[in-house]
Amino acid sequence: MLKNGNRVLVTGSGVISPIGNDTELFWKNLTAGVSGAAPITRFDATGLETHFACEVKGFTTEGIIDRKDAKRMDRFVQYAVAASHEAIRKAGLDLDTENLERVGVILGSGIGGMETFEAQHRTMLERGPGRVSPFFIPMMISDMAAGQVSIQFGLKGPNFCTVSACASGAHAIGEALRLLRAGDADVILAGGTEATITPMALSGFGNARTLSTRNDDPQRASRPFDQDRDGFVIGEGAGVVVLETEDHARRRGAPLLCELNGYGASADAFHMTAPSTDGDGAARAMRRALEDASLAADDVQYINAHGTSTPTGDPIEVAAVKRVFGEHARKLMMSSTKSMTGHLLGAAGGLEAVVTALILARGIVPPTINLDKKDPQCDLDFVPNQARTQSVKAALSNSFGFGGHNVTLALTAVS
C-alpha cells in the first residue's frame, strides 16, 4: 500500500468516436491527423447556423447488445455499452472467473439522453401524453449508461454516474481511482459517454456563440490555439478505461498500458459558462493532480489539453499551464486531440484519458491539427499538424466544464 492506498493501473480501453469505433482504428486515425468533422447526416441542419459536427460513423450494436435491449437504450447508452465491451476484451478480463461484486462501473455524461428527450417531446406534442414511451425516463437519465453497463455484463460493484458538463468523464475516472485506492473494488470500468448531436443541442450551443460556423470547411473548423479559431465542433462517442488495483492486475497477468496515479479537482466559482479569466481553477486542479501523484512539475512531458478551440478558453488554459509549470511549460508537449474528434462534452475526459494512456504505452504523441497561425497568447509546443514519436513517462489530461468544474488526471508509464 502506498500513502494514498493501492496503486491503480490502466489495463484496457474502449472507444466509440468520430474517427473510429475501436481503439486501434481510432489511434491510427488520431496519429495520422484525420478529422472527424463533416456535414450533419442525422437530421436536416440547414436551418441552423452550424451545419456540421463530428458524428460517429458506421456504428452498430450487432453482436454486442441484444436487439430488443438496444431499442430501449438512448444512443449515449449504446455507445457506453459498446466501448465497455471492447475495454473488457482488450483488458483480457474473464468475467466468468471474476468476483463481480468487486467490479464497478463509473461513467460520466454531461447531458444524457437528449436524442430520446427530443423525440419523446415531439411525440407528446403531436400525439398526446398518452403516447409518450414508458421507457422515456430510463432511456434519458444520465446514470443509465453506468446502469446498463452493469446490467449487460453483470457487474455488481460500485456503480454511479458523474455529471459535471465537459469534466464528467474525467471526474468518473478520478472517483474510480479513489475507490480502488480505498479497496472498495478490484476493477472499475470508468470514463464518459455522450450523444447530443441533435437540433436542440446545436441550437443552444449555437445561440450561445460557442460553436464554429465554418460550414464551408468543416474539417478545418476545430483549430485549438490557432488565431483564426471561431468556436468548438460538437462531437459524440464514448471512451472507457479498465482500471485495476496493481495486485489484481499483476496476479492475472493483465496487459498494462500505464498507471493512473493522480487526480485533481477544483471549482472556478466564477461564471456559468466562462472559465476564470486568470486560469486559477485550472491551475489548482493541475497542482492537486501533481501532488496526488507525487510528481514534480518538471517530471511531466505531455499534457492532453482541454483545448476546445474557443477564443476565450484556449489562452486561459495556456495561462494556467504557465502558472503551474513556469519555465518548464516551454519544454512540454501539449496537444488538443479535439482538433480531430471535436468536443465530446461529457465523454471528452474519458476519450482523452484513453489517448493519454496510449501515448504512454506507445510513445507517439498525436498532433493538434489545423494549427496554421498560432495565437500569440498561445505560445507553447502544441505538436502542430504532425504526430511526434517520443517516449513519454508522465502526462496530464485536462478537462474543464460549464459551471466552473476542473479536473486533471495524472498518468505515468508503468515501471
Residues that are catalytic: 166
C-alpha cell at 181: 485506492
Q: Which amino acid is at 167?
A: A
Angle at 269 between CA 263 and CA 274, to 5 degrees: 95
Quote the CA–CA distance of 390 and 240 in Å, as a whole number: 25
| Ordered alpha helix ranges (H), 266-328 | 280-293, 313-325
**Strand ranges (E), 344-415:** 364-365, 388-389, 394-401, 405-412
Quote the CA–CA distance of 369 and 167 in Å, as a whole number: 23
For 358, residues 6+ apart whose C-beta sits below 8 A from its C-beta are: 13, 23, 27, 257, 364
For residue 316, give the DSSP letter. Answer: H
Contact 270/313 with Cβ under 8 angstroms?
no
Cβ-based neighbour number of residue 28 at 10 Å: 13
Element (H or E) spanning 71, and its range?
A: helix 67-71
Element (H or E) spanning 242, and its range?
A: strand 237-245
Contact 62/46 with Cβ under 8 angstroms?
no
CA-to-CA separations, 67 to 78, 133, 216, in angstroms, rounded: 11, 18, 38
For residue 276, give the DSSP letter. Answer: P
Quote the CA–CA distance of 133 and 116 in Å, as a whole number: 10
Strand order across the beta sheet in which 103-108 lies: 159-162, 103-108, 187-194, 237-245, 8-16, 258-267, 405-412, 394-401, 302-304, 333-335
Residue of 330, 343, 339, 338 whose CA lies nearest to 371: 339
